[in-house]
Amino acid sequence: MPAASVASSPLAAAQARIRALEAELREARAAAQQPGPALDLSDHNPNPVLRYNAAGERTYANAAAVRLRHELGAPAAAALRARLRNLVAQSLRDGRPYQTELRHGPHGLQVSLVPSAATGGVNAYVVNVTARLKAEQQMLEQQEFYERVLDELPSQIAVFGPDQRYRYLNARSVPDAAERRQWLGKTMLDTAGFMGRSPDVAARRHGLMLQAMAERRALEWQESHTEPDGRVSHFLRYYQPVFGAAGALEFIIAYNADITGRVQAEAQLREQQEFTALVLDTTPNVTYVRNLDQQVLFQNRACQVLRSEILPLHALAPSSVAAGERRAYATDDARVVQNRQEVVTEDCLTLPSGEVRWYHTVKRPLLRPDGAVHVLGVSTDITALKQAQYTLERSEKRYRDLMHYAQALICTYDLAGTLLSANPVLAALLGPPAAALPGQPLAAYLLADDRPGFARYLGRIAATAAGGEAEGVVRVRVHGSGAVHHLLYRNVVVREAGQAPYVISHAHNITARVLAEQAAHRAREEAEATARARENFLANMSHEIRTPMNGVLGMTAQLAKTRLDARQQEMVRIVRASGQHLLVVLNDVLDIAKITAGKLELEQTAFNLCDALAEALQPLAAQAREKGLAFEAWPLRATCPVPWVLGDPHRLIQILLNLVSNAVKFTEQGSVVVKSEQLSETPTAVTLRFSVVDTGPGIGPAQQALVFESFAQAQADTARRYGGTGLGLSISRALVEQMGGALTLSSALGEGSTFAFTLVLPKAEAPAEASAGGPAPYDTGRLAGARVLLVEDNEISRTVVRMLLEPWGAQLDEAPDGPTALAQLAAAPPYDVVLMDIQLPGMSGADATARLRQLPDPCLAATPVIALTANAFRADGERYLAAGFNDYLAKPYDEATLYHKMVALLPPPAPAYDLAHLRRLAQGRAPFVLKIIRSFLANAPGSLAQLRAAAAAHDWPQVARVVHHIKPNLLALGITRPAAAVALLTLHPAEESAGARAQALATLLAAVEQALRELPAELPD
C-alpha cells in the first residue's frame, strides 16, 4: 500500500504512542538503577515512587503515587496494591530486585523493586503503562481489521521487511494459518518449494524485489504458470517499496492478481480481430472506408496493393482521364452519404502504365457512434470478365474463320449423328460440297465395320447428362473414288442451358502414318521371330553342347583323381584343356549373341580389384614365360590403397584375359606389360586405367577398325596360324562400353600394340568374410549323410553327379523324369536337396518344381531344389528363381560350386559332441575332462590322416583297425552321429560294397572334423 496511507493511519499513531511510553519506561528503569535519591527528588519524580521497610510496610509514597491511586479508582488500586505487597514480600525474602508488569482490567503498571541495603527495605518504582496497553490494544484491533480486509481481497498480498523476509501474508497467499505463521521471517527463496514453483522463479522474483529496492520505485510484471492439470494461469505481480520520513526503507508490499480471465479475453479478442483482418486481407475484393474528403480510414491488403499502383489525386493533371475517374468516385461517395442508400456501379480505373481495370463496386453508408457517416466500399475486379466479354465477341468470328481456314477436319453433329456443319477441308475429303453436308448422316461416310461403334457412342452420350468426350481412329470412305482414309479424332460434347446438345469433332488424316506403322509392325514381328529363333537355336545349341561337355569335363575330373602315370595324366590334361577351350568358344558365341540382343547384364557386387587382377594374370604370366616372353605387371596397390569396388569382377577378368591372352598369343618375342593404375579418387568412386602393351607384329591402320568386329581378325590367315573365333575383342569392347568406358587401340605395324580402357567404379566396403581372411575352405564333410534326389534324363550326367556325391558321403537317389521324381518325393523319407535338370522329357524341370511347390504337405513342398541347366543366359537363371527354384547351376559345373550351393540349402548342423557322459564318469573332476579333450585334439588328426591314406590305397582292413582304435574316444566324447558308419567300417571288408564303405568313411571324417573344430571352445583361455 502507499507510504502516505500507512503514515496517516490510526495504526501508525498507536505505534508512535507505544514508542513514547517505552522511552519513559526505559528512563524509569535507569533511574531505578541509580542510588536512592533524596526525598525531595522523589517528590518531583513524575512516576510513582514507593518505599517499604523490612517488615513490608509502606513508609513512603510520592505525589505521583497518590495521583495514580485516584486515576486507577478504589477497586483497581486495592487489587494492584495487594499484588504489589506480595511482590515486595517476595523481594524482601529473596533479597534481590524484581521487575514485572501488573494488569487489572484496562489498567497496567510497570513495577521495578530494588532492595535497599541502607534501610533493609525495598524501593518500588512504578510506571503507569495503561495508555501504552490501550495503544497496543488499538494497534492489535486495527491490525486484525486490516488483516481481515486484506484476507478478503481476491489477490495475494504479502509484506516483506528490508531484509526481504516475510512480515505478513494474507489468506489468499497461504490459506492455512499455521503455515502462514511458519512463513514469517523466511525469504521467498526459502519457501519456493512450498508453492510448487521452481527455484528459478523464486530467484527471479527476489531479483526484481532487489531491483525495486535499489531503484526506489514500484515494479510491475506478468507471469504465466502451467498448473498440474495442464491449464495455464496468468498473474499480474507488483512490488511497492515503502520508505519512512527519513527516507529509510520500512517494508515492501507484494501484490499478485490472477488475470487469467483478462488474458484469455484479450487473446480471444485478438484472435477475432486477427481472423477478421485475415479474412479481409485474404479476399481479393478491394475493401475500404472513406470519408467525404476522400481520406481512407480503413483498407484491406488488396486495397493497399491497388493504392500502391496508382498516383494520388494531387499528382494527376486535372484534365487527365484518371483525374476524371477520381471525381466520379467522389460524386458516388457524396450520393451515398446524402441519400444514405447503397450505390452499385461499374467503374474503370486507369493506371499510370495506361492499363485499364474494371471494378464492380458496392458502396454503402457506414454510420459511426458519433453520428458521422462514412462510405464502406467493396470493389471486385471484373477486368477479366470485361475482357472475356470482348473476347467472346471476337471468338465467334474467330470460330467461323477457324472452321473455314483450318487444315484440321472439323465438323459438328447432333446426338442423332446428323451433321450440323463441316469445314471446307472435311468436305473436300468426303467429296460433297461443304454446303451440302449439313443434314446428312455422318454414319453414311464411315466404313461398315465402324458404324456400330459410332451408334453405341451416340447412344451413350444421349443417355447421360455429362461427359461424352471420346478420341480414337475412325475410317471414312471418299464419296465417288471409294478410297479409305484413317482419321485420328477427338470429340467434345457441348451442353448449354436452353440449347440442344451437340458434338464438336476435329480430326487429322493419319492414313500415311497408319500405313507406315502397319509396315513397321510387320517388320518388328519378323525381327522378333528371327530373334526368338536365334535365341532358341542358341539355347538348344548350348544345351546340346554343354550336356556332353558336362560329361567330358566331369569324367576327366574324376579320372584325374585316380592312379595315373605321367603319360596318362598328360592325356587327361589335354582332354580337359580341349574341353575348356571348346567351352570358351561356346561362351564367346553366347556372349556375342547376348550383346547383339541387348540381354547382356552386369552384376553389381563388391570385389577386390587386386585379387581379381591376380586371378586373371597368374595363368597368363606362366604361359608367357613358357613362350620365352618377359611378362611385367604393374601392381595396382601402388596407386590404389583401397581396392574394394562395386562392379562385375567376372566380366572385368574376362576383358583382361581376352586382351592379355591376345598379347601373349601374337607376340613371338619381347615382352607383355600389363598396367593397372588409379587416376583419381572421390569419396564415392575411383577412376582406373588398364592397359596391355605388347611387342608383337602390330596392326596397320586399315585393319584396326576390323579387329573389334565380330568374327573378324586383322589378317586373313590369323585363324589358321593362331586359332580363335575373332570374338574376343568385340566382346571386350562391348563389355567395357557397358561398364561406362571405351576400349582404345594404339598400334603400328612392327611396333606392337597397346589396348587400354578407363573405368569409373564405385567404392565398396570389404565384406566381413573378406576382412576376416577370405572364404571358408572347401570342406566335403557337411554333405555326409544328406539325402539327395537327382532328376536327370542323361545317364552320363547322372554318373558324373553320382561320382561327385559319393566321396562326400551323400545318399543319392535318382529319377529320369519329372513324374518319377514327384512320386519318389511323395513316397520316400524327406530329401535334403533335389538336383533338377531343366530339359527333361515330357514334364520339364520347371513344371516338376512348380507341382512340387503346390503339394499340400508344407514340409514336402518346401524341399530345396537346385536347377541344373545347360542354358547360360542370366535371364534364364532369374526365371528359374522366380519359378520356385532355390538356386541354379549352369553346366558344366565344378564340384566346389555344386558342393557350396548344396551346403547352403542344408539346415545348420547339430552339435558334434556331447560331454554329459564324460562328465558323469569324471564325477566333478574337471581336469580329467580337459585331459581327454586335449588328448583327442592331439591324436585325432593323425588318425584321420591314416584313414585317408588307407582308403586311398583301398586298404579297408587298415581302415577297420584305425576306426576300432578311435571308437572309444568317440563314445567318451559323445560323438554319436557317425555310429552307423563306425559299425559298417569295422565289419569285414567283403560284407559291404566299396561305395557304401566310402560313404561311411566320409560320414565319419566329417563328424570327427566338426568335433575338432568345436571342441577347443571347451578349453580354458
Q: Please report which confidence band the pLDDT of residue 217 belongs to, taking 50, 70 and 90 as the band edges.
A: very high
**Cα separation, 538 vs 600, whole angstroms:** 14
Dihedral sign of CA atoms 469, 471, 475, 477 in order: positive
Beta-bridge mates of residue 455: none
**Cα separation, 1015 vs 972, whole angstroms:** 13
Q: Position 519: which residue type?
A: A
Helix (H, G, I), strand (E, B) or coil at 750: coil
What values do phi and psi take at 759, rounded to 5?
-130, 145
Name the most confidently modeled range: 100-114, 475-489, 676-690, 692-706: 676-690
* pLDDT attached to residue 718: 46
Report the mean per-residue pLDDT for the chain: 81
Q: Position 536: which residue type?
A: N
Asked if 155 contacts 256 with a C-beta cutoff of 8 angstroms, the reply is: yes
Distances (CA, A) of 138 to 5, 50, 170, 805, 814: 17, 31, 20, 119, 122
Identify the CA nearest to 735 among candidates 586, 595, 593, 588.
Answer: 595
Q: Please report which confidence band the pLDDT of residue 595 belongs to, taking 50, 70 and 90 as the band edges.
A: low
Dihedral sign of CA atoms 265, 267, 271, 273 in order: positive
* pLDDT attached to residue 894: 79
Residue with cell 597368374: 618
Asked if 442 contacts 417 with a C-beta cutoff of 8 angstroms, the reply is: yes
Q: Please report which confidence band the pLDDT of residue 39 belongs to, taking 50, 70 and 90 as the band edges.
A: very low
Q: Please report which confidence band the pLDDT of residue 414 belongs to, taking 50, 70 and 90 as the band edges.
A: very high
Segments in 772-844 forming alpha helices (H)? 795-808, 818-827
* pLDDT attached to residue 771: 43
User: Residue 757 corresponds to which cell in the numbers above?
Assistant: 580402357
- pLDDT, tens digit, 9 for 90 and up, residues 510-519: 888 888 888 8
Kindly report each contact of residues 764-772 with a partner whose C-beta sits within 8 Å and lies 24 or more positions away, as own/partner. 764/606, 764/607, 764/644, 764/645, 764/646, 765/606, 765/644, 766/606, 766/608, 766/644, 767/606, 770/608, 770/644
Residue 162 scores a pLDDT above 70: yes
Q: Please report which confidence band the pLDDT of residue 273 belongs to, taking 50, 70 and 90 as the band edges.
A: confident
* pLDDT attached to residue 172: 78
Q: Please report which confidence band the pLDDT of residue 770 belongs to, taking 50, 70 and 90 as the band edges.
A: very low
Q: How much is the average pLDDT of 239-268?
A: 87
Beta-bridge mates of residue 366: 374
Q: Please report which confidence band the pLDDT of residue 452 belongs to, taking 50, 70 and 90 as the band edges.
A: very high
Q: Position 802: which residue type?
A: R
Q: Please report which confidence band the pLDDT of residue 38 belongs to, taking 50, 70 and 90 as the band edges.
A: very low
Helix (H, G, I), strand (E, B) or coil at 629: coil
**Cα separation, 785 vs 801, whole angstroms:** 16
* pLDDT attached to residue 532: 66
Residue 94 scores a pLDDT above 90: no
Helix (H, G, I), strand (E, B) or coil at 102: strand
* pLDDT attached to residue 874: 57
Give percent of the chain above pLDDT 90.
Answer: 11
Residue 539 scores a pLDDT above 70: no
* pLDDT attached to residue 788: 93
- pLDDT, tens digit, 9 for 90 and up, residues 115-130: 988 888 898 888 888 8
- pLDDT, tens digit, 9 for 90 and up, residues 288-330: 898 888 888 888 888 888 888 888 888 888 888 888 888 888 8
Residue 772 scores a pLDDT above 50: no
Please give the full DSSP string across 879-933, using - where no structure is assigned. HHHHTT-SEEEESS--HHHHHHHHHHTSPPPPPS---HHHHHHHTT-HHHHHHHH
* pLDDT attached to residue 392: 81
Residue 228 scores a pLDDT above 90: no
| Residues in Cβ contact with 538 at an 8 Å cutoff, skipping those fewer than 6 apart | 589, 590, 593
Helix (H, G, I), strand (E, B) or coil at 981: helix
Q: Please report which confidence band the pLDDT of residue 482 belongs to, taking 50, 70 and 90 as the band edges.
A: confident
User: Residue 901 corresponds to which cell in the numbers above?
Assistant: 550351393
Strand 671-681, strand 409-414: pairing: unpaired
* pLDDT attached to residue 639: 64
User: Residue 784 corresponds to which cell in the numbers above?
Assistant: 555326409
Helix (H, G, I), strand (E, B) or coil at 35: coil
- pLDDT, tens digit, 9 for 90 and up, residues 727-769: 778 888 888 988 899 999 898 888 889 999 999 999 888 775 5
Residue with cell 607383355: 672
Identify the CA nearest to 499 among candidates 414, 442, 393, 416.
Answer: 414
Residue 8 scores a pLDDT above 70: no
Number of residues in the chain: 1021
**Cα separation, 631 vs 660, whole angstroms:** 10
* pLDDT attached to residue 773: 42
Between 61-75, 157-171, 399-413, the lowest mean confidence (pLDDT) is in 399-413
Identify the CA nearest to 869 among candidates 921, 789, 792.
Answer: 792
Residue 778 scores a pLDDT above 70: no
Residue 834 scores a pLDDT above 90: yes
Between 119-123, 138-142, 457-461, 743-747, the lowest mean confidence (pLDDT) is in 138-142
- pLDDT, tens digit, 9 for 90 and up, residues 176-188: 888 888 888 888 8
